[in-house]
Amino acid sequence: MAEFAIEVSDLAFSYGATRAVDGVSFAAAEGEIIGLLGPNGAGKSTTIKMLTGQLPPERGSIRILGKDMPVDREDIQSRMGVCFEEKNLYANMSGVENLRFFGRLFGIKDVDTDGLLERVGLPDRGGDRVATYSKGMRQRLMMARVLLNHPDVLFLDEPTDGLDPVSSRAIRSIIQEEAARGATVVLTTHDMMEADVLSDRVAFINEGRILAIDTPENLKLAHGRRSVRIRSRNGPQVNETIVALDDEDASERIRAAVAKSDLLTIHTEEATLEDVFVEFAGRGLQ
Amino acid sequence: MKLEVIGTIVAKDLREFSRDRFYVVITIVGLLFYVLIFWVLPDTVDETIELGIVQSGMGQAFEQVADQGVSITAFASDQDLRAAIERGTGGISVGLSFPDDFPRSVAAGSPTTVTVYVTGDVPPEIRSSLSAIVTELGFLAAGRQPLVTAPAETEIVLGLDRAGDQVSLRERMRPLFAFFVLMIEMMALATLIASEVQSRTVTAVLVTPARVTDFLAAKGIAGTLLAFAQAVVLMAAIQSLGNQPLALLLALLLGAIMVTGLGLIAGSIGRDFISIVFWSMLFLIPLLIPAIASMFPGTAAAWIRAIPSFPLVDIIVQITTFDTGFGALGGQFAALAGWCAVAFLAGWWVLRRRVVAL
């Protein structure tokens, strides 16, 4: 196994005159979840397409599991799983038939369809045609397809986009299990909550460039505000006070607020990833 | 290319086809319909001329022509004959009205006039043959032989002798039916491909160890299999594999590859059923022309020979109707193979561009 499961250097791609990806570089270690966070059109999906061999890079290099993409594409693809933003399943085939078909493309003759469907929460629907599945069920089946070949690298493009909370939670759980197993996960999202919860590191991507890459915590601490919001009752009214943690008297003010019987709530005011993204990109994630 | 991967995709495509109710129904109903129509159509051509006559005093003379492909119905008067032709009574479309003094006049060498009635759809060759009949009857009525003796002739028939056994409508429909089957399967393949492109399932396939060439080869094989198998079933059901079966099967295979190439193009361009039908028709209507022309022997203009489907139609006609051997059809097979290669390579190229650009 290479030192990094994924090494990307100076990646670039254009659609005609439009530069979609412009000098993207990052590396991901074995078992690491790295989130590419950015608004629609930022270049996340194009980056994933180059990493998965769907698009040849105009410039730059990609090394995955110690092999060069696209030179060793076939070797790399046999060890990776890809979840697309589109629910690209064969709707006239059942869930089991879809899994068996893709399994055979990987050279797997006896796909453990029961185990896979159980794992993604579809134990009883494997025999039904995908056309009858809800959006969440299709996404779960997509995750089952990702896991078919026990991949060492997972590329997940907006894996929970538009899903209900239950399906989103199930898919996030699978992603974390795969990372715990040692698989490297690259996921794209424009959902800062998802990136925050799932990612070991987050790369902010905008207009084809990575603006910053670090752990969510570091990003929030380095670029957010360290403060506490205190809400207390004052007769019929509610007072709200923000205490900056860097102020000299911060400890006293907080202690005093907590000691009072009219305290309602006290919350930390750390920045969200979106706040940090806005600071970097000058725009929001939507 | 990996044969196992190709086989997996082909099997998947055939499974998907079998689940497309529209194409399954249209394929089965189409096959049954073509076979039914074929067997319902007449297998002989009735060339007997239904002739009505007003024939005072000419009974014996008409008995001599009655067994020469002419069926005669006698009428009492000129008005009756004319009314029968106008109404189409008994299929009578031509009539001869001889004057009462016809035998006497021709025997005496006096001028006389025979009125010939024809409907508007009687072809010119029948009209002119009526003149010959009148002349012959004139000699018979006068009790004389024709003035000249016909010269002796030797007839050498090249190929199957169809004299007295004209090519029936049933036989003339064969290429059209075969083409209809190929056409439906071309649209079925185009629909499969368009669905795969639009739903992006092809991108899911291409991030596995399957290559673009595997995918393209599988589509080509699946399309050819579908079209060829059904063309063979049709030909077997209408008992058209009796003459030169290997040559006919080869022609059908090449035809199936040709329409598969066109299906690859239509599937790459089309986005939904309507656009697939539009693009398919754009290709198929010109290609149908030779099959339609073959229903009217002798009417095909020279430019029809330049249409890519002409060699296929001509081979089917030559083999099934005239039992022409493979050797005599070498040129047509070469032309068909050439068009087949052009269509398939064009389809391959267009679909490849479409898939790679996704």
- Long-range contacts at A198-201 (CB < 8 A, ≥ 24 apart): A198/A33, A198/A35, A198/A172, A199/A33, A199/A34, A199/A35, A199/A37, A200/A32, A200/A33, A200/A34, A201/A28, A201/A32, A201/A33, A201/A34, A201/A35
Name the average pLDDT for chain A: 88
Per-residue pLDDT for B300 more than 70? no
Residues from chain B that touch A77, judged by Cβ atoms under 8 A, are: 207-209
| pLDDT of A130 over the 60 cut | yes
For residue B62, name the pLDDT band (cuts at 50, 70, 90): low
Distance of residue B209 Cα from the nearest chain A Cα, in angstroms: 5
Show residues of chain A in contact with B199, CB under 8 Å: 86, 88-91
Pairing mode of beta strands A18-29, A237-244 = unpaired
Average pLDDT over residues A160-173: 85
Chain B residue numbers with beta carbons less than 8 Å from the beta carbon of A90 are 12, 16, 199, 201
Contact B210 A105 (CB under 8 A): yes
Cβ of residue B80 closer than 8 Å to a chain A Cβ: no
What are A74-126's pLDDT values in tens digits?
999 999 999 988 889 999 999 999 999 999 999 998 899 999 999 888 888 88
Q: In this structure, are strands A59-64 and A263-268 parallel, antiparallel, or unpaired?
A: unpaired
Confidence at residue B346, expressed as pLDDT on a 0 to 100 scale: 95
Using the structure block, give the residue that is written with the tokens 């009214």.
Answer: A237
Among the partner-chain residues B9, B15, B207, the one whose CB lies closest to the CB of A82 is: B207
- Cα-based distances in Å from A63 to A2, A22, B170, B270, B295: 9, 18, 66, 37, 64
Section B317-334 average pLDDT:
88
pLDDT at B299: 60
More reliable by pLDDT, B49 or A179? A179
State the pLDDT at residue B160: 55
- ipTM comes to 0.82
Residue B79 has pLDDT above 50, yes or no: yes
- Asked if A98 and A141 count as a contact pair (C-beta separation under 8 A), the reply is yes
pLDDT for A284 equals 65
pLDDT at position A1: 44
Of A208 and B168, more confident = A208
Q: Between A88, A90, A102, which is nearest B208 by CB?
A: A102
The residue-averaged pLDDT of B187-195 equals 90
Q: How do B115-118 and B94-97 pair as beta strands? A: antiparallel
3-class state of residue B256 by DSSP: helix
Tally of CB atoms within 10 A around B266? 29
Residue with tokens 């890459």: A213
Specify the pLDDT at position A259.
Answer: 86
Q: Best-predicted range by mean pLDDT among A90-99, B139-148, B182-191, B322-331? A: A90-99
The rounded mean pLDDT for chain B is 84
Percent over 90 (pLDDT), chain A: 47
Across the A/B interface, how many CB contacts are shorter than 8 Å?
63
Spell out the residues 6+ positions from residue B158 whose beta carbon is closer than 8 angstroms to its own. none
Q: Does B2 touch chain A (CB under 8 A)?
A: no
pLDDT over threshold 90, residue B204: yes
Of A236-245, B214-223, B343-352, give the lowest mean pLDDT range: A236-245
Q: What is the pLDDT of residue A2?
A: 46
Which is higher by pLDDT, A278 or A266? A266
Interval B229-250: pLDDT, tens: 999 999 999 888 888 899 999 9
Q: How confident is the model at residue B23 (pLDDT cuts 50, 70, 90)?
A: confident
Reply yes or no on whether the pLDDT at B19 is more than 60. yes
pLDDT of B151 reads: 64
The segment with the largest mean pLDDT, out of A76-80, A221-225, A273-277, B95-99, is: A76-80
Nearest to B207 among A77, A90, A92 (CB): A77
pLDDT computed for residue A150 by the predictor? 93
Would you call B116 helix, strand, or coil by DSSP? Answer: strand
Please tell me which residue of chain B has the smallest CA distance to A77: B208
> Does residue B341 or residue A121 have the better pLDDT?
B341
Please name the residues in contact with A89: beta carbons below 8 A apart, sequence gap of 6 or more: A98, A130, A138, A141, A142, A145, B199, B201, B204
pTM of the model: 0.77
